[in-house]
């Protein structure tokens, strides 16, 4: 997505109602699901709140109840016990059709209608809601810009079969957002993408999420995706039991039990480094260092022992910078903003960032 497209679409998207303005929290209150004919529970006494505007990732092993939890919210699956509320409304007080009008639903493989054009796919819910043609056209174009499919006229009349997987996923997200629902349910929406496209679509989705602020419950198998995307992560274990519900930083720093630690994997320490940016470490080191002045002074040319240090951007995560430093066999990296030298970070600072840096998710330099 271009910067201009992002700025334009973000501004226009902000003019629509956002979840932060109205209470669109999703509350699972002691929710249990047992499928007919099954003795085991698919979901067992789940109690979590996804706050208005929050992006929560639901992760866990296959069969752990993630899709079930999502489909209970839009009543594709019926509750066995407990209560789900969106805002102050018990979902059972609405008809499934009324309920689904307030919820965008995006699934793996995009789920687009193959015989409908991109424009027709995006217009699905607005058409059901009987929006007039001009409003639907305007909304469709606005959404295509938002998901980075520009110039929009090039995409409107294509069929899903004429799009790449990543483009289909973008259209799937546009379709889910079409009627501006306050709540989004996403079930492994990027699951079918290759790692590079996946990263690009994740970035775009995060951009959209920040712009439009919808309450989002997002299922993924991929713990790295959850760490990158989520405000909070709910980890389910076999039997549909909640193992932990917390911020990515807290989950990584303090896994609730052996199951969570194992689920996070042996690279838990490295994953923590993905929560902090180089700029933040630079700031913290400066605040502490005795030689603050020498660090701060821009250098037109690096000292001899740093000539071969790789250049990194302040926006990079420590994990990304560490990867470059490791590949260059260097003892640190030079932090540049274009031509401007912001300072240097040492290998030691990358591996052992100054205290609290990795624990302060939500502060400057981490996700805004
Ligand atoms: N319609 C159904 N009838 C009976 N059992 C079902 C049905 N749908 C799901 N289940 C069972 O419920 C449990 C949870 O399934 P669910 O699809 O929610 O898991 P999941 O966490 O989404 O798994 P995956 O990561 O593989 O998508 C599984 O044991 C599954 O076999
Ligand atoms: Mg599933």
pLDDT for 14-34, tens place per residue? 334 444 467 899 999 999 999
Ligand 2 centroid vs 86 CA: distance in angstroms? 22
Ligand 1 centroid vs 2 CA: distance in angstroms? 39
Residue bearing the bigger pLDDT, 367 or 260: 260
Fold topology of 278-351: CBS domain Like (3.90.1280)
Answer yes or no: is pLDDT of 300 > 50.
yes
Answer yes or no: is pLDDT of 9 > 80.
no
Identical topology for domains 3-265 and 278-351: no
Is the distance from CB of 263 to CB of 64 less than 8 angstroms? no
Which pLDDT does position 284 carry in this prediction? Answer: 81
Q: Which CATH class is domain 3-265?
A: alpha beta
Ligand 1 centroid vs 26 CA: distance in angstroms? 21
Which pLDDT does position 187 carry in this prediction? Answer: 94
As a whole number, the mean pLDDT across the chain is: 85
Q: Strand pairing partners for 103?
A: 183
Radius of gyration for the chain, computed over Cα atoms and rounded to the nearest angstrom: 23
Which pLDDT does position 355 carry in this prediction? Answer: 67
Answer yes or no: is pLDDT of 112 > 90.
yes
Average pLDDT, integer, range 168-174: 89
Counting ligands in written order, the one closest to the CA of 237 is: 1
What band does 354 get if pLDDT is binned at 50, 70 and 90?
confident
Answer yes or no: is pLDDT of 290 > 60.
no
* Top mutation candidate among 63, 187, 217 for ligand 1, by most atoms within 8 Å of CB: 63
Counting ligands in written order, the one closest to the CA of 77 is: 1
Which pLDDT does position 299 carry in this prediction? Answer: 52
Nearest CA to ligand 1 atom 28: 63
What band does 67 get if pLDDT is binned at 50, 70 and 90?
very high
Answer yes or no: is pLDDT of 5 > 60.
no
What band does 194 get if pLDDT is binned at 50, 70 and 90?
confident
Average pLDDT, integer, range 286-314: 69
Report helix angle 318-328 to 278-288, nearest 10.
90
Provide the whole-model pTM: 0.81
Counting ligands in written order, the one closest to the CA of 63 is: 1
Counting ligands in written order, the one closest to the CA of 240 is: 1
Residues whose Cβ atom is located within 5 A of ion ligand 2 = 67
Please spell the DSSP secondary structure of 49-105, one letter per residue: EE-TT-EEEEE-STTSSHHHHHHHHTTSS--SEEEEEETTEEGGGS-HHHHHHTEEE
Domain boundaries, the chain: 3-265, 278-351
Q: What is the DSSP letter of 148?
A: T
Ligand 1 binding pocket, CB closer than 6 Å = 35, 38, 42, 60, 62-68, 221
Nearest CA to ligand 1 atom 6: 35
Residue bearing the bigger pLDDT, 362 or 210: 210
Which pLDDT does position 12 carry in this prediction? Answer: 41
| Ligand 1 atom index nearest CA of 65 | 18
Is the distance from CB of 313 to CB of 337 less than 8 angstroms? yes
Which pLDDT does position 289 carry in this prediction? Answer: 63
Average pLDDT, integer, range 112-134: 94
Residue 153 has a CB neighbour count (10 Å cut-off) of 9
Which CB contacts under 8 angstroms, 24+ apart, belong to 301-305?
302/334, 302/341, 302/344, 305/331
Ligand 1 centroid vs 65 CA: distance in angstroms? 6
The runs of H, that is alpha helices, within the chain are 3-14, 66-73, 96-101, 118-122, 124-128, 133-146, 165-177, 195-212, 223-229, 248-253, 258-264, 268-273, 278-288, 292-296, 318-328, 347-351
Rounded-to-integer distance, Cα 199 and Cα 201, Å: 6
Q: Give the best-scoring range by mean pLDDT among 53-62, 173-182, 184-193.
A: 53-62
Identify the CA nearest to 180 among candidates 208, 148, 151, 152: 208
Residue bearing the bigger pLDDT, 166 or 297: 166
């Amino acid at each position: 997505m271009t910067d201009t497209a992002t700025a334009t679409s973000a501004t226009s998207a902000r003019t629509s109602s956002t979840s932060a303005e109205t209470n669109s929290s999703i509350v699972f209150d002691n929710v249990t699901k047992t499928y007919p004919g099954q003795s085991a529970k698919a979901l067992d006494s789940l109690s979590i709140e996804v706050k208005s505007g929050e992006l929560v990732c639901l992760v866990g092993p296959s069969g752990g109840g993630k899709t079930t939890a999502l489909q209970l919210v839009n009543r594709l699956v019926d509750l066995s016990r407990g209560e789900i509320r969106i805002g102050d409304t018990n979902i059972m007080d609405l008809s499934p059709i009324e309920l689904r009008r307030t919820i965008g639903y995006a699934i793996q493989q995009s789920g687009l209608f193959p015989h409908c054009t991109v424009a027709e796919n995006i217009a699905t819910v607005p058409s059901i809601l009987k929006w007039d043609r001009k409003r639907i056209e305007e909304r469709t174009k606005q959404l295509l810009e938002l998901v980075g499919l520009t110039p929009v006229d090039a995409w409107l009349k294509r069929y899903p079969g004429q799009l790449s997987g990543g483009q289909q996923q973008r259209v799937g997200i546009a379709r889910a957002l079409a009627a501006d629902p306050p709540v989004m349910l996403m079930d492994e929406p990027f699951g079918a993408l290759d790692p590079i496209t996946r990263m690009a679509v994740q970035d775009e989705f995060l951009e959209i999420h920040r712009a439009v602020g919808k309450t989002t419950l997002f299922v993924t198998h991929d713990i790295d995706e959850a760490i990158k995307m989520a405000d909070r992560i709910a980890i389910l274990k076999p039997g549909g039991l909640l193992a932990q519900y917390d911020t990515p930083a807290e989950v990584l720093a303090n896994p609730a039990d052996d199951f969570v630690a194992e689920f996070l994997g042996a690279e838990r320490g490295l994953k923590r480094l993905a929560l902090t940016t180089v700029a933040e470490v630079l700031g913290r080191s400066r605040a502490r260092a005795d030689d603050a002045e020498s660090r701060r002074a821009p250098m037109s040319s690096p000292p001899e022992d740093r000539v071969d240090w790789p250049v990194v951007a302040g926006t990079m995560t420590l994990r990304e910078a560490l990867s470059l430093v490791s590949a260059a066999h260097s003892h640190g990296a030079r932090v540049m903003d274009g031509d401007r030298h912001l300072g240097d970070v040492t290998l030691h600072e990358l591996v052992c960032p100054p205290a609290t840096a990795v624990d302060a998710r939500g502060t400057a330099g981490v996700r805004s």
